[in-house]
Amino acid sequence: MRHKAARFGVTLAMAGALAAGALGAATPASATASGWAPYKAYRTLQNCVSAGTTKLVMDGYKEYDCRWDSPYYMLWLRK
């Protein structure tokens, strides 16, 4: 019985570590709370900036930001 309890404890510890890792990789709450939303990933900073500028002009966004999110640049937009 002790072995089953020990295995269950290890399983819970592993599940907790996986959940913590998933939360750490999630979108920062402060960014989404302030109105920023991830849009699309781009291979180069130039492509990201070009797409951000287009979104400002064509779709009425107020701001854009290109952030490095390995291995791509993520375009973030704010209305």
CA 32 from centroid of its chain's CA atoms:
10
From 58, 35, 53, 57, select the one nearest 66 (Cα to Cα).
53
78 neighbors 69 (Cβ within 8 angstroms):
no
- Once rounded to an integer, what is the mean pLDDT over residues 16-44? 67
- Once rounded to an integer, what is the mean pLDDT over residues 23-42? 73
- Quickly state the pLDDT bin for 34 (edges 50, 70, 90): confident
From 45, 36, 40, select the one nearest 77 (Cα to Cα).
36
Is pLDDT of 78 > 50? yes
Amino acid at 56: L
* Phi and psi torsions of 28, nearest 5°: -60, 130
The ranges assigned to domains in the chain are 2-26+35-78
